[in-house]
Homo-oligomer: A and B are copies of this chain.
Amino acid sequence: MSDANPNAWTTAITQIEPNHVRVRGYDIAELMGNVSFGAMVYLILRGELPDAPTGTLMDAILCSGIDHGATPPSALAARTVASTGANISAAVAAGIMSINQHHGGAMENCAKVLTELLSKVDGGAPLTDAAPAMIDEFKASKRRIAGFGHRIHTADPRTARLLELAKEAGAFGRYCEAAIALEAVFTERGKKLPINVDGAIGAILADLGFEPQVMNGLFMIARCAGMVAHVREEQTRMKPMRKIDPVAHGYDGPATRSMK
């Protein structure tokens, strides 16, 4: 790199030298086989390796987001592009672009709401007072608190499991408690607005120290895998240029089974 080049720049992510690839300082060959991909994602985004239970939690978070069938716009956009004869990368890219404010964005938005709530607690208000006050405030200004309630699931199977794993990893902190406090207020008031998977991930990632702006990035990593599956299924099972109905679809894969 020439000092004379005014556009010379540096990156702190990965160092490339002949016969060496080091991610955040660690030789990639040492990491391979010794850490899961969840732990590797934590490393590349945070700069440090997680401990073992946090690595497991990261894998669980990625697993929870891998797919949600043919209902979300990311799967539909990826399939629509694939049906035109586009290759796998263009089709997956169209799906990635669908991950946005209204699709996945609830993680980030929930984390921001919880941050706001916790700033009030830091200011001296007990959580049990601050939580209902915040809900009242949002209601008054007609804003929705992201991360609670789901179009399809009333008791999202992913939420309980994520919070359980967060406890095991010591990552159930103030953000998770704040989310639980909001849920309690909703329940008390007779609203069926349980923490949804986005809310749980937003709270846990915040407790792990992730910045809200990167949360949808984590979702992209997870869902990218689901989209590769959708695109290949579209390319191999479906006719080109079909009308992709966003509602009239069923499941014809393996029957319900268990790991046990």
Chain A residues in contact with chain B, CB under 8 A? Answer: 1-2, 5, 7-16, 18-38, 40-41, 44-45, 47, 49, 56-60, 62-64, 66-71, 73-74, 76-77, 80-81, 83-94, 96-103, 105, 152-158, 160-162, 164-165, 168, 213-214, 216-218, 220-222, 224-226, 228-233, 235, 238, 240-259
Contacts and interface: CB of A to CB of B under 8 A. Distances in A.
B45 A63 contact: no
A27 B229 contact: no
A165 to B, nearest CB: 5
Contact of A34 (B247, B249, B259): B259
Contacts of A98: 80-81, 84, 86, 89, 94
Given A62-B37, A69-B15, A102-B85, A10 B252 contact: yes
Q: Is the interface of A mostly helix, strand, loop or mixed?
A: mixed
B92 A220 contact: yes
Nearest to A95: B93
A171 to B, nearest CB: 13
Contacts of A251: 10-12, 14-16
A245 B59 contact: no
Contacts of A93: 90, 93-94, 96-97
Nearest to A94: B94
Contacts of A10: 249-252
For the complex of A and B, list the 7 residue pairs with the smallest distance between their C-beta atoms, beginning with the closest: A85-B101, A12-B253, A25-B254, A217-B228, A15-B251, A29-B157, A10-B252
B77 A14 contact: no
A76 B80 contact: yes
A81 to B, nearest CB: 5
A98 B81 CA distance: 5
Contacts of A102: 83-85, 240-241
Given A63-B35, A220-B92, A254-B47, A29 B97 contact: no
B14 A226 contact: yes
